[in-house]
Structure 1
Amino acid sequence: MEKYQLLDEVGAGGFGRVWKAVNKHSSEVVAVKMLREKFHSWEECLSLEEVKSLRILRHPNILSLKEVIRERDDSLFFVFEFMESDLLQVMRSRAEPFSDSEVRYWCFQVFQGLHYMHGKGYFHRDLKPENLLVSGGLIKIGDMGSAKEINSNQLLTDCVTTRWYRAPEVVLGLENYSFKVDMWAMGAIMAELFMFKPLFPGRNLFDQMLKICSVLGSPTPESWLGGLALAGGLNYQFPQLPGVNLSSMMPSASWNAIGLIKSLCSWDPNKRPSASEALTHPFFHTCYNIIPPSLCVRARVNNTTTREEFEQIRSCNRNRI
């Protein structure tokens, strides 16, 4: 770590701490993640899912791991590219929720990153606004510490995903859930961008399921037969609630946006779209590229993007899906 100068602590959690740092030789600003756990060999380090996944995943919308450093005292550091903020901080800096075009602007990029990630055989498992990192007009999926291989035969824990973004099959303790949990989380995140408050803010697991039922309506044999069987095996009964009209909860959202959120938050994971299917949804039909960061100065400073600006930015790059 001698070549890095730590500047400011920018985050902390059960895993350890994250620092803003600068490379003393190149003057490049980076983020250094210092893990709390000690690692006694390189084999231990390289077996970490975060390391294994990020050695494979290289995409403009996935945070890049630059270097892994193990010190003599068995401390482990990950050096990442530095991002200015995260999506939660962006929301907190604004006075009003995002517009339809702004939600499209952010989510199109995230779905591109997920399409690539899932195609490479990994799923994230802990998508939330804090793990979507922002610099200028670019957004990247960060914190791959909970990532798993899609085709792994391992039984999966139900305590990994942050509760408010946890898919119902995970809430019920299913141990062989799929990458579709990422799609559920994105539906909850999309809704939050329109509402500026969580869609399913449960206080505990029982309250989490209550919140989901109160919004979506209780599952039926038509909407999630497998879930009813799973709940029956646990002697759990879903609260019987009719659900609400999502348009009334997010009046600024278009019908296409509401339709995509409903699809992503389907009870049955098999009915949720994949990331590639989400990218072809009518909500994204005007998107042909990721917005170039250089044209997003006004969006970054004033936290607003007009439709005219969005269309100007969209037309500058013709890299299609």
Structure 2
Amino acid sequence: MEQYQILKEIGSGSYGVVWGAWDEHSDEVFAIKKLKKRCNSVKEYINLTEVKALRKMNHPNIIKLKEIIKEDDSLYLVFEYMECSLCERMTCRKKPFSEDEIRDLCFQIFQGLAYMHDNGYFHRDLKPENLLVSKDVLKIVDLGLAREINGKPATDNIGSRWYSAPEVLLGQEYDSSVDMWAIGAIMAKLFTRHPLFPGKHDGDQMYKICSVIGSPTETTLSMVNSNYQFPQHPGVQLSSLLPSASLEALDLIATLLSWNPSVRPTTMEALEHPFFYPCYC
């Protein structure tokens, strides 16, 4: 760590803290993440899911891990530096994103996520705070909660509540389709700069979901959780909440926000949706 001069704290959470730091050797600025987790050996550090995933992946829309530094019993991950989070950019803008801008941002998210899923991991905590941007480039970050797709089925309720799929809130087994739900909620927020499901707690979160997309039907209940007493709501037209969104955008968001996880598109299916046709011209 001697070559790095800490400039400022740029983030913190249950994982630890992130600093902006200047590398005196290369005269570049990097982001250094100090993990809160303590390990007894280098092998334990290398086997952390976040470290394994980042070492395996190399994609322009996933944050690049430059090096791993172990000092005493602490681990530091050195990343390329990005200007700000997507959340910060939304907050600082004086006007909403145009649909072309939203299309470009979401196209990059899906490309990065498709690579991640193809390499055997799903993120589990996608939200605007975990998407960093520099100029027109977007990168997925913070794989601290990532899981292996072919590993033990996940059931724990983690991640940001506003972007959590119903099956996560209900404590059921879930898979990589939870990432697709999260992108649907992120995409909706890009149109309005306001969260679509701003629940105050898990029960309120489910109420917010039902009030927007409608309560699950009897058919869907068999695939969700028949023991849970869902709030009864018919839902609303997404077009009334996202008046500036095109029909193609509304269709993609509605499909991503499906009660049934198997109905949600895969990353590659999403990239082939008509909403993204202009990206291939």
Q: Is the Cα–Cα contact under 8 Å of residues 172 and 231 in structure 1 kept in the other structure? A: no
TM-score normalised by the chain length of structure 2 = 0.97
Q: Does 1:255 align with 2:247?
A: yes
Residue 41 of structure 2 aligns with which residue? 41
Amino acid across the alignment from 2:48: L
Q: Map residues 1-321 of structure 1 onto 2, 5 A cutoff.
A: 1-72=1-72, 74-152=73-151, 154-174=152-172, 176-227=173-224, 230-232=225-227, 236-288=228-280
Supply the distance in 2 between the matched residues of 1:270 and 1:10 (Cα, whole angstroms).
37
Amino acid across the alignment from 1:210: Y
Q: Is the Cα–Cα contact under 8 Å of residues 67 and 79 in structure 2 kept in the other structure? A: yes
Encode CA deviations 1:28-83: one digit per residue, 9 max, x unaligned: 210000122322210110111100111111100000111111102x1111100100
The alpha carbon displacement at 1:155 in A equals: 4.1
Supply the distance in 2 between the matched residues of 1:158 and 1:171 (Cα, whole angstroms).
9
Supply the distance in 1 between the matched residues of 2:226 and 2:28 (Cα, whole angstroms).
52
Encode CA deviations 1:243-269: one digit per residue, 9 max, x unaligned: 011101011100100000000000000
Q: Is the Cα–Cα contact under 8 Å of residues 16 and 34 in structure 2 kept in the other structure? A: yes
Q: Is the Cα–Cα contact under 8 Å of residues 155 and 174 in structure 2 kept in the other structure? A: no
Distance 1:158 1:96, change over 3 A: farther
The alpha carbon displacement at 1:239 in A equals: 0.7
Q: Is the Cα–Cα contact under 8 Å of residues 111 and 278 in structure 1 kept in the other structure? A: yes
Per mean C-alpha deviation after superposition, the further-off stretch among 59-68 and 36-45 is 36-45
Encode CA deviations 1:278-319: one digit per residue, 9 max, x unaligned: 00000000103xxxxxxxxxxxxxxxxxxxxxxxxxx7xxxx
Secondary structure, in 3 states, of the residue corresponding to 1:83?
Answer: coil
Supply the distance in 2 between the matched residues of 1:231 and 1:185 (Cα, whole angstroms).
23
The alpha carbon displacement at 1:195 in A equals: 1.4
Supply the distance in 2 between the matched residues of 1:146 and 1:157 (Cα, whole angstroms).
13
Amino acid across the alignment from 2:111: Q
The alpha carbon displacement at 1:145 in A equals: 0.4
Q: Is the Cα–Cα contact under 8 Å of residues 99 and 253 in structure 1 kept in the other structure? A: no
Secondary structure, in 3 states, of the residue corresponding to 2:159?
Answer: coil
Secondary structure, in 3 states, of the residue corresponding to 2:239?
Answer: helix
The alpha carbon displacement at 1:223 in A equals: 3.9
Query: What is the Cα-based RMSD across aligned positions, in Å?
Result: 1.1
Q: Where does structure 1 differ by over 6 angstroms across 4 or more consecutive aligned residues?
A: none
Per mean C-alpha deviation after superposition, the further-off stretch among 196-205 and 36-45 is 36-45
Secondary structure, in 3 states, of the residue corresponding to 1:10?
Answer: strand
Supply the distance in 1 between the matched residues of 2:167 and 2:219 (Cα, whole angstroms).
16
Supply the distance in 2 between the matched residues of 1:231 and 1:110 (Cα, whole angstroms).
33
Amino acid across the alignment from 2:185: A
Supply the distance in 1 between the matched residues of 2:174 and 2:34 (Cα, whole angstroms).
30
The alpha carbon displacement at 1:2 in A equals: 0.8
Encode CA deviations 1:111-147: one digit per residue, 9 max, x unaligned: 0011111111110000000000001110000001011
The alpha carbon displacement at 1:224 in A equals: 4.7
Supply the distance in 1 between the matched residues of 2:221 and 2:108 (Cα, whole angstroms).
30
Encode CA deviations 1:223-251: one digit per residue, 9 max, x unaligned: 45311xx242xxx2111101011101011
How many residue pairs get aligned? The number is 281
Supply the distance in 2 between the matched residues of 1:158 and 1:207 (Cα, whole angstroms).
19
TM-score normalised by the chain length of structure 1 = 0.85
Supply the distance in 2 between the matched residues of 1:185 and 1:80 (Cα, whole angstroms).
24
Supply the distance in 2 between the matched residues of 1:165 and 1:77 (Cα, whole angstroms).
28
Amino acid across the alignment from 1:88: C
Consecutive unaligned residues in structure 2, runs of 5 or more: none
